[in-house]
Amino acid sequence: MFNKLTGANQHVGNFPGVTVDRTDGIIRGHKNVTITDLPGIYSLSPYSSEEILTRNFILDEKPDGIINIIDATNIERNLFLTIQLIELDIPMVIALNMMDEVEEAGGAIDINGLEATLGVPVIPISASKNEGLDELVEHIINVASYNEHPGRLDFCDENIGSEKSIHKCIHSIIHLIADKAKNANIPIRFAATKLTEDDPLIKNALNLDEDEQKTIKQIISDMEKERGMDRQAALADSRFSFIERLCADYVQKSEESPSRKFSMKLDKILTGKYTAFLAFLVIMGFIFYLTFGPVGTYLSDLMEELIAYVTNFADSALTVYGLNPVVHSLIIDGVFAGVGSVLSFLPIIVVLFFFLSILEDTGYMARVAFVMDKLLRKIGLSGRSFVPMLIGFGCSVPAIMATRTLPSERDRKMTIFLTPFMSCSAKLPIYVLFTAAFFKYHQIEVIIGLYLVGIVVGITFAFLLKRFFFKGEPVPFVMELPNYRFPSAVNVFRLIVQRSKDFITKAFTIIFWATIIVWFLENFDIRLNLVTDPANSMLAILGTVLVPIFKPLGITDWRVTTAFLTGFMAKESVVSTLTILLGGDVSKLPQMFTQLTAFVFLIFSLLYTPCVAAIAMVRHELGKRYALLVVFTQCAIAWFVAFCVYNIGCAIGG
């Protein structure tokens, strides 16, 4: 809906955790109206970073109006958040989305009845079919412009016995904190209900004195005794009782929709007790086969031919022009060889994300998180942590951001530590280059093996974290499983374009400058004299210093150790660095590696520190100390695992 209203191209996914930060845009046709997309949440309780982000935005930035999007096919669950939003006393319009699916299934919703009871406008829409959006925009602009507050804030019915106590409790607190709420600029009804829930953020913001806190504690204690349940349960029960009455009056439930019936049948296989994990392996195996097999390889070969043609043309043109040999070398042997070697893998990235975007859009990703919950609980995490990890197979940066959806700080920190073990797409060029050179007939098996090694090492590390550093149990896991949907061509295309753009941007920024630096260090000595033998260059000196660290891994070539250094900037730079050091001829790789040391190189590349962008994101989320800890931990684990692999390989070979 945000994309339709603003003309933006934000990533859309049919699973939770896609939006973890705010996104602003201008509504088309209304230059003075800014709309902000906030993370999807189920309540305004401060249990996760996304809930806090959304709540703080509303309380601190005071928007002129709120568009509350409700899934009409699951209206009961969505109305819980709606009640909390109404209590904020901010002009609001409810967008009742997916009404087309309700009608197709034979259901009906009394829009006028909902409006009258909730006290806010309700607009039926279908965002995917672009139905009702113009009417929605018109209503929200009018409501915001004329500052039309909700017509009702109190959803407790004092005439119903079970709700008398909670009604009396909230109103008693309202009278007690009226001045404090006004001074803190917090809606009074919202503040009272949050104090009833024991919300620490609101309690601190109100700056209550000791007597006021004691009085509120006594009010809530009396309510709990009278109601026979704790404060949070009593308030939730009151809200859900209202929702049940509302739906009974105005929502005519339909038979199960065809899409729901289809989803349930498919889930018997894809989430079945004995078939779920096998189905996941088959699906991912098929995707890897097509990506690194016939489809990806064919497109990658075409890209290589195109790059070779452009390189040869540029080489000939510069020769005819008579350009200075040193500058000529910089352009052809540096930039074209380095950047071109990375760009040749773009088709593989595109193919992989084509299939992954289809899995996202169909709703299968949410099922994978559900399936993995049992396994992840054994290492101290819930299935919700699998979503960031899954995103990590694309890029660690958005994956680390996605941990904001986790309600527990413990789970969040553990997930951030484990995410870099999920092999990101930036490492694909390394895998493809080395497997093609050393494991030509087992390329797909080796690449899948690398992904599995990353997962196994991550699981092992998680056991250690759970045992010694992050003790305790993961929070309960609740995740909505959306109906399976036919993938949207627009969404799939949007994700492919976004990933391709990211890859190309990195190639012509970070990798471009990295290739120039590598070329310069390889061609000049410490006195800035041009060298004929790279072994006398500054790069050789730098690489030689690192050789003793990697010698126990069977790696003694200074050119290899320098590739690890540039890989810290961007993992694709490993390929561009080796290509430059081999004079643009990657067929010479066997001169630098044996089959065993090549595999050791792959293992270390898989596990060592994530790129500088990912480390910067860890620093942003957890602080400098944790960022340095991630770098040190990943490098140490990568060295240890590579050491074990090398020695086991030597023993078997011996």
pLDDT at 17 over 60: no
Instruction: Give the tens place of pLDDT for each residue, 303-316.
Output: 888 988 998 999 89
pLDDT at 507 over 60: yes
Instruction: Give the tens place of pLDDT for each residue, 564-596.
Output: 888 887 788 888 888 888 877 778 888 888 899
Residue 459: per-residue pLDDT: 83
Residue 654: per-residue pLDDT: 47
Here the tokens at position 508 are 């012509």
Collapse the DSSP code of 271 into the 3-class scheme (helix H, G, I; strand E, B; otherwise coil) and give the result. coil
Residue 158: per-residue pLDDT: 67
Question: Are 411 and 381 contacting, i.e. CB atoms less than 8 angstroms apart?
Answer: yes
Q: Between 39 and 230, where is the model more confident?
A: 230
Q: Could you give phi then psi for residue 444, rounded to 5 degrees?
A: -65, -40
Instruction: Give the tens place of pLDDT for each residue, 83-129.
Output: 889 988 899 999 998 888 888 777 888 999 999 999 999 999 988 78
Residue 356: per-residue pLDDT: 79
Average pLDDT over residues 224-230: 85
Q: Between 139 and 262, where is the model more confident?
A: 139
How confident is the prediction for the chain on average, in pLDDT?
83
90-94, 252-256, 291-295, 503-507: least confidently modelled range: 252-256
CA distances from 275 to 272, 280, 282, 452 (A): 5, 9, 10, 19
Residue 95: per-residue pLDDT: 92
Here the tokens at position 545 are 């210093």
Residue 652: per-residue pLDDT: 83
pLDDT at 192 over 60: yes
State the residue for tokens 């510069």.
318
Residue 151: per-residue pLDDT: 86
Residue 68: per-residue pLDDT: 92
Average pLDDT over residues 494-503: 79
**Residue 600 CB-density burial (10 A; 0-12 exposed, 13-18 middle, 19+ buried):** buried
Distance CA 18, CA 10 (A): 10
Instruction: Give the tens place of pLDDT for each residue, 427-458.
Output: 888 888 898 888 888 888 888 888 888 888 88
Query: Which domains are delineated in the chain?
Result: 2-145 (3.40.50.300), 161-252 (1.10.287.1770), 278-473+491-653 (no CATH)
Under DSSP, the state recorded for 568 is: T
Instruction: Give the tens place of pLDDT for each residue, 373-399.
Output: 777 777 777 667 777 777 777 778 777
DSSP β-ladder status, 23-26 and 66-71: unpaired
C-alpha R_g of the chain: 29
Average pLDDT over residues 513-525: 85
Distance CA 648, CA 654 (A): 10
349 falls in which pLDDT band (50, 70, 90)?
confident
644 falls in which pLDDT band (50, 70, 90)?
very high
Distance CA 294, CA 458 (A): 30
Q: Between 338 and 605, where is the model more confident?
A: 605
